[in-house]
Chain A
Amino acid sequence: MSDTDLKPPADEESAERMSSAPVEADAPSGIGVIGWMRWMWRQLTSMRVALILLFLLSLAAIPGSLIPQNSQNAFKVQTWQAAHKTIAPIYQKLQLFDVYSSVWFSAIYILLFVSLAGCIIPRTWQFVGVIRAEPPGAPRNLTRMPVYAAWHTDADPETVNAAAHRLLRKRRFRAHLSTGTDGAVAAEKGYLREVGNLLFHLSLFALLAGFAWASLASGQGGKLVVEGDGFANTMTQLDDFTGSAFYGPEDLDPFGFKLDNFTASYQTTGDQMGNAREFIAHIRYWEGDDSSKLKAGDIQVNHPLDIGGSKVFLIGHGYAPVITVRDATGKVVYHDTVPFLPQDSNLTSTGVVKVGDYGDKDGKKVQLGFQGFFLPTAPANFGPTTGPISLFPGDASPLLVLTAYEGDLGTDAGLPQNVYQLDLTHMSQLQQDGGPAKAKMTPGQVWQLPNNYGTISFDSYKQWATFSVSHRPGNSIALTGAVLAVLGLIGSLFVQRRRIWVRAVVGPDGRTLVELAGLARSESARIAEELAELAVDLQDDAPALDEPDTPEVSDASPTPTRPADSESKE
């Protein structure tokens, strides 16, 4: 821009600079690498680039909300990938299944934070300087300020200036009365705006630090516990565990608990029938090494229990039939409580029973496998087309539906196996009456297996619950950051920073001219009223003289002439 002649004088520029927002750099200044680097740094810390980065950040967050994410549901990602064979590899390359840890997403927020640091830290120093210095002195030409008032009085200038100084102090302005020939009062108020603004931006760093610490030093494990069973928080007992750089399996907090029982309640009427209403896991737990000192506690959804540095969350629940298998001689070859996994909201559950120690039959070593459904509320009848579907998640009419297999379970190979699946490669289904052998059992019922294999009985059932054990430090830092951010925002958005100058001088006609001018951030309309109030109060000490003609202010002073875009500089 070549409007240097339109620029206000230097004293006005410093008077008008109320925000220390970075000044935009239009072109590289200086030469060579240093010049360019300085230019790039200035670009990066400029408001324009900060805006672009903010905008990019919100844009970049969108794909993660529409494409399944590994961090939330790895299973869903696999299903999606299987269904979109052609584009899945491309998405994979673009890290679209891990948006929030992707290179490009990280790059945006890191740049944003670098920009923020480059912008806010100098600004903080500058503000410290502002606090220590006096409010900027009155510009020579007060009429150029956006809010202005003036009148003539008989009172002498020193009295008026001193009164103005006193009044401004009373209004809790930081006011400075400059002595000397050109006595004038410079006052400023609303520093909390800047404090708030700096606090807000700085607390974003606290938030980031909290995030970072959490991701470096947290760990989470999962565990399924059947009613009556216990659990100790060690690597061998957890079903799964994900640690981080500073929280590995050896750092697990020492504690354990026993699940005494689990209560669930459901809606029984209306269009929300079957919706869950309450889940409570009643436990007794211990901390440290002494597992004999037990304390009772409840864990509910939304109400985790804090135990020894970890939080234990209730995640899911289901049913576990208690099953006994006897061989043809009546000897018990299997007795266990087998968790079945829910498949739908009415807890139609699937599960398997692996009888690895059946022993020999007809001189040959065999194993048995069972596969089937547990229905907490079974329909009176279900045909082959509808299949076994539970009608309600509560256990109103429990039923176990099983089919049986014989052969080799594959468990002896030493390879880890999924306990919820049968490997059917070396198994064959038992037949009965010309079809697959199948039985529906209510609790207490016994199924006589075909081929003289003995019996399987559905003795009873228990409930199980899954827990997530989570160790996450850094939450309090993030929370503190968040709270400070809100406080800072309130200050930054609701406090108005404004300056008022008062100057009384003796004019050529011997009368004293009192001039008041005010400047505020552009969005404020109240500065005019504030100035008027002050002026009215000031008239106690500097009564206005009757103007000979109409008391038009614009007669006494020229109307402010300012470049039209001057507001945008503030």
Chain B
Amino acid sequence: MKRLCCTILVVYSLVVHAQEKDTTSASLQEKVTELKEQADGLNEQLLTLTPIVDALKKIKISGYIQSQFQVADADGVGSFAGGNFAAGVHSRYQVRRGRLKVNYDNDLTQFVLQVDATPGGVAIKDAYVSLKEPWTRTFGLTAGVFDRPFGFEISYSSSNREAPERTRMYQTLFPGERDMGAKLEITPPETSPMNWFNFKAGFFTGMGPTAQENDNYKDLIGRAGFLLPMRDAGLEIDGGVSWYLGKVRSNQRAVYKMDGDAKTFAYDSTVANIGSYFDRTYIGADVQLYYEIPVLGGMTVRGEYISGKQPGTGGNSATSNYSSFYNVAGTALYQRNFSGFYVNYVQNVGLSNQFIVKYDEFTPNSDASSNDIGATTPVGKIALTAGDLKFTTLGLGWIYHWDSNVKFTIYYDMVTNDKVNSSAPAVLAAFKDDIKDNVFTARVQYKF
């Protein structure tokens, strides 16, 4: 009986176990099918989402903010280190730049819009369309508002530039860096034996990014550049030559040109000057050398020289909005030959530190010496002004890269002006000595 009971129990337990096993196996199978269906569903969703994500990936948003504190040598000084100080002020906080850039990059076509939003207002910096032909991918066309294709310093982004500001020369000749126009670009692909060469040139209004066109003359601006990498030696030399062939129209008869012998301006009041065009022509050369100093880190030496003919006003040789300026009494067209250059040395130390030495010189009137400014003016001639005075700036700085987004810069601009003639009138008296206009800048930048 015992044996029978045991046998029944064993058989029963085996049957139950087998049934449980079947049930477990069936439920597992069900689970697998369910998961597979879920995975298929997710896969379908992924296939739907992929083209959307791919399209969104073409939209690239970037930007940076530069916030800074500055101290000048004296109240209310004129400065190229972020603009003049207000009267009675020698220290200030500034949001120097607040850029937001949207780029829709469709490989061969691009849409770019960049704004600069600061407490001073919102301004459009870039607004252009860029196209590249699909066959050789060598020729490109850009139209809208964008950097003038001249030299090196214009196109070197303010977020990357080591010195806080561009040189006095560049700020005078190319305020705002951009202009409205269209350019052709030749950039051979990297596989081409001509990939060491690049060329860009275009026609622009000459008025800057926002001013209305005031004449039918378009300025031709261009640069032919080269890249000579010697990677085995850790060395690269880049450079180029640039030209600006433009004209400005005078809307009044008074025009002042340098009299080289008398070292003063000569007044020309011919009626035919009204509506006539006057040269705005520059020629420039730039070179950049990159080299790695063993143990210390990478270094670069950059230099640039520009000379030419610049139309300005009596007190200032800066490029301005020519559309109405010359209609205002006392601000007639003054033509000057100018020259200027800078040399910039940057040394990286380790991952986080960069040291900067930058020297620049700008001679707005290369036909006169500083001693001619303020000297007795011959009868019938027009005196030189502070706008003809040469300035040099020696800048020393240190950058600390906190991480890949944040960097701190401290920089000291030591500005020196040439001294005017000792008999200069009261209006020029301040320039008999070096004016107190050095500026210390402490800046933090966030870039993404």
> Does A pair with B?
no
